[in-house]
Each structure stands twice: as structure tokens, then as C-alpha cells.
């Protein structure tokens, strides 16, 4: 380590910036944001540096930079000269600014480009509201020190506040809920009771682990237990932390191991036991995922929760198969339909679904393909309307069958039975884009 990283309190203290132009103005804005009293000059005199705690030189001219550096050195003021490491007493790192949380990255001046690249990566994964969490912790520090005397217990409390329900509520933007949860944590630590946990209802996406949201990945790494659908593939579960408990709660057509009421009760029980729980649902929790029912149960039980959306199957699978759900020249509307409800759906709805220029994305519809076909044909849909059946969309074993509406039952039969994966049916002119050579129409009686 060639440079010692330090965070310097500049609030109300004089800092000199030498130079004009964009580089100098960036230094002015930076130190002013840290609360410094800025003195900006074109060429420094000794009087300009009186009482200053630091100087930044950004003239862009070697001779002027060297002269300004000499004046600062003579005044015994630490100096940084932009893009001239040999003239610097200190260097300016690449900075990720999240309010009260600041991350500094330095390569010792060897490669500012590398430092900038690392900053971009950190910015992508560091939550935007993490500074709010630091401010919340600061507001509780005096209370914690006064009420929790044991150092080990204090450390455990701070860790739970930084990694548990309090942190997640802050990062989700619920500052009031986070403060209530922090008071609960403090009271539990003071009385040595178990503080309540939190449930995160998380969308796992259509199957490709790279389509998980950043927040979903963060929560999988924080969870004590993950209650997951049967349809969530091992590649997604592999993103969880190694010691997390994985519990399959079924939720596959015809093979449900857990009634919804039992899943709801288990979420409540785990949270009340102080665990951080992820309820991991295939696709998006609020698109045929029954996430709304689980939220109602958690609200009724007074359990803290958050909902993290996921890439739903209609978006992920259609994109993977090369099908735009809307297309300027082909389709201007799209409707998501559950195939499970096809037989009992009101007849009046199907004429609207069968209209031209309209795309249907039918979930869990392979087993109901004949019923879907018959209802659309009865509602006036063209038998030659293109369709596509996408099995295991976005995954390495994805399979796509394309054809016409009249042949939908035969196409879907290829994607049902033992070992078949989840399927999405797309009905509409856009489905023709799934294959270079659409399958020939097979007329059915």
C-alpha cells in the first residue's frame, strides 16, 4: 500500500483550488459538497494559502501547476495536482457517494481508468439508500450505548441492524417502518428477547439466473431461509448464501406439496422466530404468483415484508424465443392470461382476446391448449393465427414449437407429460417471428 486511505473532515475549513475550467470546477464542487470553505484562485499567493488544510491544482499547464505546487509546499499545505502524481502530496481516489456512506477506490495513481471501472462496478451493486441506513444507525448510537452495556451484545445488535429487517426496510424506502423495527431490535437486545424478522417476496425470473434483479441477488445472500417454488431452477438457488436453509414448497401444477394457507403460516412463523425469510417465486410474485395473498397474510399478522419484482415469464420467454409481444406493424396490445382458468373464464372475454393486433401470453396453458384453441376459434379468431409454445424459456434446455392456432393442441402436447418444464403459449401475429419457417397449418375438425 503506497498511500494511506483517510477520510478528512473538511466542514468549515479552508481549501484552495487553483485553476479555471471543468477540472477545477469539479474539484470546487467536490470539496464544497464536503462542507469546505473554498478559495478559488488563478495563481496562488502565499496569503491565499494561509490557514488552508489542502490545495488542489488544476491549471492544465505544467509550468503553472509546478509554480502553484511550490507555493503550497512552501506554506506547508498538502497539495494535489491533477494528472501529475509526481507533484502530489496526496491523491484523489475514485469515489462512490451514497451520502453518509462513501467508498473510495485508488490505484495509487497508476491507473485512474481502472479505478473508474471499479467504481462503476461498486456503484452497480451498492444500494442507493445505504447512506440512509448509516444515518439511522447514528441516530440510535447514544441509545444503544446507554441501554446495552455488554459489548458482544452491542456488536450483535449492530450487525442485525446492518444486515437484517431494519436494513432492508431502509433500502426499500420505508424509513418509518425501519425506525419502528430498530426500536424493536433495541428493546429485544435490552431484554434479551428475539427480535422479529422480515419476509421478502422475491421474483426469481423465468429461469436464467442472470435475469435476477440486483436486489433479488442481495436478498438471497442475506436470507436465513428460502421458501421456493418447485419451478425455481437449481442455478437460481445457487445464488443463495451457502448456509441458507432451502425449503421447497411445491407449487407446481398437479404436484402442490404445500397448500397456500400452510405457506402463509410458515412465512409468519419463521419471521416471528427472528429469521430473514425469502419467499422465492418463479417469474414475478404479482403475475399469477399468488404474491398478493401472501402479502395479505403477512399484513394481517403484523409481519414486516417487502416485495421484489422479477422478470415475468411473458417477458423473459418471449424475448428469449425472439418474439416481441408488441410490434408497431403487427400488435399494439398484449394480455396475460392464466391457462388454468381457461375453462371457467367468462365467454364474453374471449371475443376481446381474439381481436386482431392483439397478443396473448398464456401462462400454465399447455395442458389447457385444446380449450384455449376452441374458445378463441369460437370467439372469431383466425385458425391460421400464428402461435408458439415456449418450454423452459431463457434456460439452456429451452424448446420452442411454432404453428397455427388450429394446431395448438398438437403443438402443446410436445411440451406436456413427465419431465416437461414450464411452458408459455404466445398467440398472435408476433408469434410467427419465433421461427424462420413456421410449421404448416394442420386443419382440425
pLDDT at 279 over 80: yes
443 is an active site residue: no
- The DSSP code sequence of 339-356 is GGGTTTS-TTHHHHHTST
**Confidence band, pLDDT 50/70/90 cuts, at residue 439:** very low
Domain range 14-92, its CATH number among 3.40.50.720, 3.30.930.10, 3.30.830.10, 1.10.10.10: 3.40.50.720
Rg for the chain, CA atoms, rounded: 30
pLDDT at 253: 54
> Which listed residue (65, 208, 251, 284) is catalytic?
251
pLDDT at 55: 97
Superfamily in which the 196-311 domain is placed by CATH? Tetrapyrrole methylase, N-terminal domain (3.40.1010.10)
251 is an active site residue: yes
**Confidence band, pLDDT 50/70/90 cuts, at residue 250:** confident
All CATH 3.40.1010.10 domain ranges of the chain, comma separated, are 196-311
**Matching residue, cell 451457502:** 242
314-434: CATH topology is 3.30.950
- pLDDT tens-digit readout, 212-237: 999 999 999 989 999 999 989 999 99
Q: How much is the average pLDDT of 350-373?
A: 88
pTM for the full predicted model: 0.69
> Which listed residue (172, 208, 229, 407) is catalytic?
229
All CATH 3.30.950.10 domain ranges of the chain, comma separated, are 314-434
All CATH 3.40.50.720 domain ranges of the chain, comma separated, are 14-92
- pLDDT tens-digit readout, 372-413: 999 899 999 999 999 999 999 999 999 999 999 999 999 999
- pLDDT tens-digit readout, 163-217: 888 998 999 999 999 999 999 999 888 887 778 889 999 999 999 999 999 999 9
Amino acid at each position: 500500500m503506497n498511500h494511506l486511505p483517510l477520510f478528512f473532515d473538511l466542514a468549515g475549513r479552508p481549501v484552495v483550488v487553483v485553476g479555471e475550467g471543468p477540472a477545477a470546477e469539479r474539484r470546487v464542487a467536490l470539496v464544497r459538497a464536503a462542507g469546505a470553505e473554498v478559495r478559488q484562485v488563478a495563481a496562488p499567493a502565499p496569503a491565499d494559502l494561509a490557514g488552508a488544510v489542502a490545495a488542489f491544482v488544476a491549471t492544465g499547464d505544467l509550468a503553472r501547476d509546478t509554480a502553484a505546487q511550490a507555493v503550497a509546499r512552501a506554506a506547508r499545505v498538502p497539495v494535489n495536482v491533477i494528472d501529475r502524481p509526481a507533484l502530489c502530496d496526496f491523491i484523489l481516489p475514485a469515489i462512490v457517494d451514497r451520502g453518509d456512506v462513501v467508498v473510495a477506490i485508488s490505484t495509487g495513481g497508476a491507473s485512474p481508468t481502472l479505478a473508474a471501472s471499479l467504481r462503476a462496478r461498486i456503484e452497480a451493486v451498492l444500494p442507493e439508500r445505504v447512506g440512509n441506513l448509516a444515518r439511522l444507525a447514528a441516530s440510535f448510537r447514544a441509545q444503544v450505548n446507554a441501554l446495552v452495556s455488554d459489548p458482544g451484545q452491542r456488536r450483535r445488535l449492530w450487525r442485525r441492524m446492518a444486515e437484517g429487517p431494519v436494513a432492508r426496510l431502509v433500502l426499500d424506502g420505508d424509513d418509518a417502518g425501519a425506525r419502528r423495527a430498530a426500536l424493536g431490535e433495541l428493546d429485544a437486545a435490552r431484554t434479551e428477547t428475539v427480535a422479529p424478522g422480515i419476509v421478502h417476496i422475491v421474483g426469481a425470473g423465468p429461469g436464467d439466473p442472470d435475469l435476477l434483479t440486483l436486489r433479488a441477488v442481495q436478498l438471497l445472500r442475506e436470507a436465513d431461509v428460502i421458501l421456493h417454488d418447485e419451478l425455481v431452477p437449481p442455478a437460481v438457488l445457487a445464488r443463495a448464501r451457502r448456509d441458507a436453509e432451502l425449503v421447497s414448497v411445491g407449487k407446481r401444477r398437479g404436484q402442490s406439496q404445500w397448500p397456500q394457507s400452510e405457506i402463509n403460516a410458515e412465512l409468519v412463523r419463521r419471521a416471528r422466530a427472528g429469521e430473514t425469510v425469502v419467499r422465492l417465486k418463479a417469474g414475478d410474485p404479482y403475475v399469477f404468483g399468488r404474491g398478493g395473498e401472501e402479502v395479505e397474510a403477512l399484513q394481517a399478522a403484523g409481519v414486516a415484508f417487502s416485495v421484489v419484482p422479477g422478470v415475468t415469464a411473458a417477458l423473459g420467454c418471449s424475448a428469449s424465443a425472439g418474439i416481441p409481444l408488441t410490434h408497431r406493424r403487427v400488435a399494439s396490445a398484449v394480455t396475460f392470461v392464466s391457462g388454468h382458468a381457461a375453462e371457467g373464464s367468462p365467454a364474453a372475454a374471449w371475443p376481446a382476446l381474439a381481436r386482431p393486433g392483439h397478443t396473448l401470453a398464456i401462462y400454465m396453458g399447455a395442458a389447457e391448449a385444446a380449450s384455449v384453441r376452441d374458445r378463441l376459434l369460437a370467439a372469431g379468431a383466425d385458425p391460421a393465427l400464428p402461435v408458439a409454445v415456449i418450454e423452459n424459456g431463457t434456460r439452456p434446455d429451452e424448446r420452442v414449437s411454432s404453428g397455427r392456432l388450429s394446431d395448438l393442441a398438437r403443438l402443446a402436447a410436445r411440451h406436456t407429460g413427465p419431465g416437461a418444464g414450464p411452458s408459455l403459449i404466445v398467440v398472435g401475429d408476433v408469434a410467427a417471428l419465433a421461427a424462420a419457417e413456421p410449421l404448416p397449418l394442420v386443419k382440425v375438425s
